[in-house]
Amino acid sequence: MEGISASEKKNLKAKAHHLKPVVQIGHKGMTKALIKAIDDALIAHELIKIQFLDFKEEKRELAQEISKETGSVIVGMIGNVLILYRKNPEDE
């Protein structure tokens, strides 16, 4: 997915502020099931939060990999919470 502008990121961060994490990354780390859950959440919501319960030291690398695997954009990371966005193609 193409990048988004700084103003769009700021707007998306503001929208994500009240959201609860819909996916948690635990001791199993990156699995096909995790990617599927994130992909399904992006289809349903477009803007999601993911919480790192484990792998906190590797969260930046994992965030890049998740973004690449799901075709989403990293909006930001606050503490151990990743914010992802992917426009739903069915909404166009």
Domain that holds residue 75: 6-87
CATH of the domain at 58: 3.30.110.60
User: Does this model's pTM top 0.75?
Assistant: yes
Residue 1: inside a domain:
no
**Sequential pLDDT tens for the chain (92 residues):** 567 899 999 999 999 999 999 999 999 988 999 999 999 999 999 999 999 999 989 999 999 999 999 999 999 999 999 999 999 877 65
Q: Where are the alpha helices (DSSP H) in 19-81?
A: 32-45, 59-70
Residue 92: inside a domain:
no
Residue 11: inside a domain:
yes
Q: Residue 81: enclosing H or E segment and its boundaries? A: strand 81-85
Give the count of domains, the chain.
Answer: 1
For the CA atoms of the chain, what is the radius of gyration? 12
